[in-house]
Structure formats: C-alpha cells, structure tokens
Structure 1
Amino acid sequence: MKILPNKTITDVSGFLASGIHSGIRKSGKKDLAVIYSEKEAIAAAALTTNKVKAAPVLVTMQNLKSESIQAIVVNSGVANACTGAKGIENAKQMVEQVADCLHISNEKVLVSSTGLIGTQLPMEKVLPGIEKACSKLSHNGGKDAAEAILTTDTFKKTIAVEVELGGKPVTISGIAKGSGMIHPNMATMLSFIMTNVKMSKSLLNQLFKESVVDSYNMISVDGDSSTNDMAIILANGMAENPLLDENSEDISKFKEALDFVNKELAKMIAKDGEGASKWMEVSLYHAPSKESARVFARSVVSSNLVKAAIFGSDANWGRIMCALGYADADCDLSKVDIFFGNKEDKIQVVKNGIGLLFDENKVKEILDQSFVNIIIDLKSGEYQAKAWGCDLTYEYVKISGNYRK
C-alpha cells in the first residue's frame, strides 16, 4: 500500500466533484458538494443508529437498494432533521435536481445533510446551488467538496492510498467531516470514500461494514450520536483489476488499505473535536474477546471525566479504572495495567489494578503534549482494540452553547 500525499477523491479515476457556496450558510463558506462517477458504481453504506433519522438518511436508505449509484449530493449548515414530510420532500427534490442535471435516474443519487437540526432547507437557494455545483464538476474538485461538507470543523479531512490488485493499481480515497456530536456507533460525521476497484457488491458491503466497526465506531468527542451520520463508499470498477470477490486472494490487501483510509479519517475527526486542545488514543490489549476489547476501549475514550483529566494534564488513573468497570463487558480487572504515553515516552501508573508510585512531573510532561496515549493491558486474552477521542475543554462548552447563534 502506498499513501498518496495531497490527493483526494477526484484523483480516483472516473470521479468528479465540486464544492460551492449556495447561500445556505450566511458566513459565505462553501456549503454544497456534488460527487459524480462517470461510470455507474456499486455502493455500500453505514448509517446512523439514532432512532431519529434525518430526511436525507431516510431517502438515502431507500436509494441504496438500487443496483448502482452514480452521484452524491451533500449540504452543510442545515441538517434537514426533525423536519417532517416537508423535509422528506426537500431531500427528494435535491435528488431529483442532481438527477436532472446529470441526466441519470433518481435512484442513482444519494443525499446527505449536516448542520442545525429542526430547520427547513432554503430550497430557493439549494436547487440553483445544485445546478451550479453540477456545472462545476471537475477532476480537480475534490478539495472543494471536502471543504463544502464541513460545519464546525477546523480543517479538511482527506486521505488517498494506492494498492496493487491483480497487477493493477487501485486507488482508495476519502473525505470526511466531524467535530462535535461524535460518539461510537456512527457519530455526527459524514464520510465519502471513492475507489476504482472492480469488486462484487456483496463483498464491498461486507468489508465496508467491518471497517466501520473498527474506525468510525471507535471515536468519541462528546457522547452524542447524531441524526445524520453517514459513511458511504462507491466503487466504479475503472481500475480494471480482476474482479475481487469472496474467493479472491487479494481481499486482505484491499481490506488493509480500506481500513487504513477509514481509520485515518476517524483519527482526523477525533483530533478536530470541538474545542479540543489534545487528541488521545486508547490502546487496549489482551482482552478476552474482540468485542470486549472494543467495548472497554470505547468506554474509556467516551468518559467525560477521563477527557477532563486529559485536558487538565491530571494523571487521574482512577477515572480510567471506573470507565473500565462500568463497561458492558466482563473481565477480571484486578489484573489490569495502565500506562500514560505519547509518541516518545510512557509511564506505568497502575499494576494489577492498584496504583503505583510514579513521577508526577514526568507524567505531567507526557500529558501536556498534544497527543496522549492511554495504554491498557487487561492480561486476560489475545484480543486488542484502539479508540480515538479528544479532551473536554472550556472551549467545547462555548462552541456548543452558541451553536444556533
């Protein structure tokens, strides 16, 4: 696998994109994106688990039943959630406008929205905006699209890799947004992955959903799961590699590259948590099962008390033990070891479930860094998991307290 610096979704053969300011957002920032595959693509997706699903999620769920997808339209600024029948009608109108502009059928278009809940979309701006965005589709539009899907994010999130399958170079690239209302099991985040791999739809669906479990479902900023979460992958087959199906030898190579893309985007979301001053990784080892490893890691990364301690550079390991203790998984926690670390160093603070005497100055130096690694060894099995999050700061409260203003 090869990382492709400064590349984005439109560097994948056959994909065009655009990102424009349509007027949804008063700030003048880009707020509408269209992604288009010149060739019909197969699709797989993971959508919000929230029982309150936004109108675009409901419309996309229906269109995902289509055998092929060719376009995605995304707006930021207004979530089109909790908007009733009118919201459904507006989401469908967005689909229809894209289909008309690109001369494709409605069921080949997916729709996504992010922003303020409970507000109707200004369709007098959205529909002309879609027409404009479709007219500006290009092989250079990936970075504009990555910008147009952002809300409170502070930077664009994009990644691209190349892997050789059957002697053919295959590209996988993604863009994402996410900063607040982030919690495991699909958080308030959008992710759009484009690849030119030639693959069976059933295998793409399987591999993508497995990948989501270990990437986007392992991040937490503030414990809130959104109404609009959506991760979508389109594969248009233009790499012309031998068909990748359940019997192919190259499955593991593609899966490794796909996992890398999704995990890197997930980490970017965690780093960009609203008001965050640090990002953290929980590395959990030797759990009794894969699922328990995920549950324990998510419990720690989701703890507001742990997040607050990281913000204050406080080596309060008791909060980590507490989060492990209320996790919905079984393990003998009297064996647990805990370390605080960063990219250069680490220090043990708990051994066999009991706190150790440690150098407070050294651990504070570690916790003062912009990246903090909480390392947990359960010593109870062979499974491991990683979860990502950020600290909980005063600035988070400011941002979330003024979101509608």
Structure 2
Amino acid sequence: MAVSPEKEGAAHGRISPVSGIRLGTAAAAIKHVGRDDVLLIEMTEGSTCAAVFTRNAFCAAPVTVSREHLGQAPRWLLVNSGNANAGTGARGLADARASCEAVAALAGGRAEQVLPFSTGVIGEYLPLDKIRAALPKAFEALSENGWEAAARAIMTTDTRPKTASRRIEIEGHPVFVSGIAKGAGMIHPDMATLLAFVGTDARIGAQLLQSVLQHAVDRSFNCITVDGDTSTNDACVLMASQRSDAPPIEPGSSHLETFQAAVDAVLDDLAEEIVRDGEGATKFIRIVVEEAASEDEARRVGKTIAHSPLVKTAFFASDPNWGRILAAVGRAGCDDLDISRVAIWLDEVRIVAGGGRDRGYTEAQGVAVMQRPEITVRVSLGRGKASARVLTCDLSFDYVRINAEYRT
C-alpha cells in the first residue's frame, strides 16, 4: 500500500543514501583554496535520468553540452563551483566537452554519458587543467554516503548546504528520494533556478521521470525568487537508479501519485532552503494568491509582488507600507480586475478590502507583523478558484554588499 512521504535523514541533519548513486568530491582550487569545488556523481548502469535547464538565451556551455548528452543514457554528472563557463563562446563549449572526455577516460565510458554543470563567475574560461587534476580524487571518494560533502562542494555564496530526503513505501518496499541544491543569489526561475541534483532508487522510465521532474519544478523552483535574475547555468537533474525492490512505477498508477508526492516534497524543501538562504536575507516571505481566474494569473500576481524592490525593501525595514503591495497587485496584468473584490492580508491582519485600506486596520497591527522573521502575504482576487504560492525574501544592505564584492 502506498503511504504519504515522510521526511527521512535530512530531517535529522542527515541525508539518506540512495542505492546505485555515488558521489565524490575533490578540491581543484578553482576560486578558493582549501575547499572541495568539484563534484562527481555516478549512476549505476541502467539508471534513467531527467533534467530541466535554464531558458536564458546566453546559457552556459555546460548547459548546451548537457542538453546534447541527456538522451545518451548518462552515467556520470560532473559539477564544478567557482567558474560558470558562461559567456565563453566556442572555447567554453570545447572545454565543457573536454571535461566530459576526462571523466569518460577515467571511468571507462563514453564522453556522451557525462553531463557537465558549472556555477560561479560568468565570462572566465574553465580552468580545465585544475579540474582534470582533481578528478582522480573525486573518483576515489565516490560513496553512496557522499551527499553532504556534495552539497558543500557546489556552494558559491550559499552560507550553508541544502539537502532534503523522503522515504515512501510501495507495496511494502521502501523507496528513497534524496537531493541537494545550491543557490542564494541570481535566483529567479525560468525552468528551475540554481543547481539541484536529486536521486532515487525507484524503478521508473526516463520519459515518465521527466514528467515527474517537470511537475515538481513547476510548483517549487519555478515559484521562488530572490532577486529576479535568471542565471545562465540553472539546471535540475533527477536520477533513478532502478535499485529498489518495489514494483515499477507506471503512468496513471497510485504508485506514481505517491512517488510524485515524494519528489514534490524534496524539491519544495530545497526551494524553501534557497529562499531562506537568499543573499543578505533577513526575512522569509510566502506570497499566497487565491481566487484567481487561473493558476498562471495567480502566479503572475505573486511574482509581481515578490519581484518588487520597493516591497522587498519595506520588508527589510519592517515598514508596513501596504501601498507598495497594493500597487504590485494592480500592475500584475489581471484584465478587468474589480479592485472592490480584492483583499490583502499580512499574516492574520487584513490590510486591504473593498478597494482600499481595510476599515479595521491600524498601523500598529502592521508594524507587529512586519517585525516577524517569517511573513505570509495573502491576496484574494475574488475572480475565480485558482491559487498559487511564491516564496521570496527581503532585500537588504548585505545583498548589495555581497554582489558588489562577488569578484573581489
């Protein structure tokens, strides 16, 4: 019998291993000396793999190469931090392909079975020699227990590693889903956002796995924003080792619903951790839009609020300047919006009703809410039954400092 997914491992500060997926890290001194910055992930033979990538027109060289290789039965993922290999033209593509060849030479596979990923500074060439030199150690370190070290190796401006795990049962057999992610700035989705790598031992085909991943990404990574900037390197990968003793997951089955819920939960956790670790963030903000004409409309309203620098700086200042939220809703592109039906809340306090300030609202109520570290903005549009949730954070002095000093 299928059961609801329960937090496993990461809920207690650990992340559950996944049979058939091994991870190893090494230090290549790409940007910083003394920390691991190269990650190698190995999938057992017969694994399936799904991925989504950035839609930025200036996508990085590794994104282009990974797209080319995705349909070639991938066995290895190569990830480096400290250098994005983006905006590097023909040489960047050649370097990304050469890094795949280096992995294949050590592993005894084909370069087309390697998916490369990079994160870091844009516009600088990949230090290929350093990565080649670090690869033997990464191979040596491969372990099913390597998730925590892997989460640390892919960090850039992140202040902490981001991990999540779920355990489900299918006909009495356990199935695990574990994942890691990096991201704190340049976070605004246009497919996913960040880098995220999720593994499972489920028995599931590649086409269905892709559908599961897209569904999970749309409700998680596609509903977060830190600063409104979509990266050149965004990618999210879901790997299935086929090692579980549970029966195969087929389209339309209750097993698929259970598995989808587990993947959704892992990506939800990772997405929330990214926003909580937003560069310079001091507040975590949920924006819930209800009674919209469509889910797309609800998401559009939520993102308009979340992207507003004026809204975000008001949260940083703990200033209940509710007019900024009102203005964001009004410019979100809702055709024929009846403002008399719109209501807006800060947590339990209704601030807007009937086309203007709620009659019972007081400034003291707003100040009390805005001083909280977690705040929910709820918007009811009064025009339908659709809803959506967007996660964001405030915009602080530290965000400007971190990004002003990024290359120094």
In 1, Cα distance between equivalents of 2:139 and 2:71: 24
Per-residue Cα deviation, 1:165-213 (whole angstroms, up to 9, x for no partner)? 2332111111000011111314651011101111122211112112111
Determine if contact 2:53/2:192 at 8 Å carries over to the other structure: no
Q: What does residue 31 of structure 1 align with? A: 37
Pairing of 1:194-213 with structure 2 (within 5 A): 194-213=199-218
Is this contact kept in 2: 1:45–1:208, CA < 8 A? yes
* Partner deviation per Cα, 1:198-234 (whole Å, 9 max, x = no partner): 1122211112112111111111111111100001101
Candidates 259, 262, 265, aligned match of 1:257: 262
Give runs of aligned pairs for residues 334-353 of structure 1, distance below 5 A: 334-341=340-347, 346-353=348-355
Alpha-carbon shift at residue 9 of structure 1 (Å):
6.3
Structure 1 residue corresponding to 2:375, chosen from 372, 377, 380 = 372
- Confirm or deny: 8 A CA contact 2:193 2:221 kept in the other structure: no
- Which residue matches 1:140? 145
CA distance in 1, matches of 2:263, 2:240: 12
CA distance in 2, matches of 1:235, 1:375: 37
- Once residues 367 and 276 of structure 1 are traced to their aligned partners in structure 2, the CA distance between those partners, rounded to angstroms, is 14
1:123 matched residue in structure 2: 128
Does 1:248 find its partner at 2:253? yes
Whichever residue aligns with residue 393 of structure 2, its letter is C
Maintained 8 Å contact 1:8/1:175: no
1:277 & 1:247 partners in 2: Cα distance?
43
Q: What is the letter of the counterpart of residue 360 of structure 1? A: E
1:22 aligns with 2:28: yes
Q: Deviations over 1:65-98 (max 9, x none)?
A: 22x2221110000000011111111111111122
Aligned to 1:291: 296
Q: 1:240, CA displacement in angstroms?
A: 2.9
Give, as a single letter, the amino acid of the residue that structure 2 aligns with 1:56: P
Question: Equivalent residue for 1:354?
Answer: 356
Is 1:315 matched with 2:320?
A: yes
Paired amino acid for 1:97: A
1:72 paired residue among 72, 77, 93? 77
CA deviations over 1:142-162 (Å, ceiling 9, x no partner)? 111100000000010000001
Q: Which runs of 5+ in 2 are unaligned?
A: none
Q: Secondary structure at the match of 1:185?
A: coil
Give the AA of the match of 1:253. T
- 2:44 alignment partner, SS class: strand
Report the alpha carbon displacement of residue 278 of structure 1 after superposing the two structures with TM.
Answer: 1.0
Match for residue 112 of structure 2? 107
- 1:140, distance to aligned residue in structure 2 (A): 2.2
Contact 1:180 1:188 in 2 (8 A): no
**Residue 254 of structure 2 aligns to a residue in which SS?**
coil
RMSD of the alignment, in Å? 1.6
Could you tell me how far apart the structure 1 residues matched to 2:311 and 2:74 are? 42
Q: Is the 8 A contact 2:176 2:202 kept in 1?
A: yes
Match of 2:159 among 154, 159, 172: 154
Give, in angstroms, the shift of residue 27 of structure 1.
4.2
**2:16, 2:263 → 1: CA distance?**
17
Structure 2 CA distance for partners of 1:56 and 1:44, relative to 1, 3 Å? same
Aligned to 1:223: 228
Indicate whether 1:91 and 2:96 are aligned. yes
Within 2, Cα distance between the matches of 1:140 and 1:262?
20
Q: Deviations along 1:105-137, whole A, 9 cap, x unmatched?
A: 222211100000000111121111122211111
Answer yes or no: is 1:52 the counterpart of 2:55: no
Deviates most, 120-129 or 154-163: 120-129
Correspondence for 1:4: 8
Q: Is the 8 A contact 1:184 1:298 kept in 2?
A: no
Q: Within 1, Cα distance between the matches of 2:115 and 2:123?
A: 21
How many percent of aligned residue pairs carry the same amino acid?
38
What do the CA deviations read for 1:324-358 (whole angstroms, capped 9, x no partner)?
222244343331111112xxxx2111113311242
Give TM-score scaled by structure 1 length.
0.95
CA-to-aligned-CA distance 1:209-262 (integer Å, 9 cap, x gap): 121111111111111111000011011111132221213222211111111111
2-structure distance, mates of 1:183, 1:57? 17
Distance of 2:259 and 2:286 partners within structure 1: 25
Tell me the secondary structure at the aligned position of residue 255 of structure 1: helix
Contact 1:8 1:173 in 2 (8 A): no
Quote the Cα distance in structure 2 between the aligned partners of 1:365 and 1:101: 59
TM value normalised by structure 2:
0.94
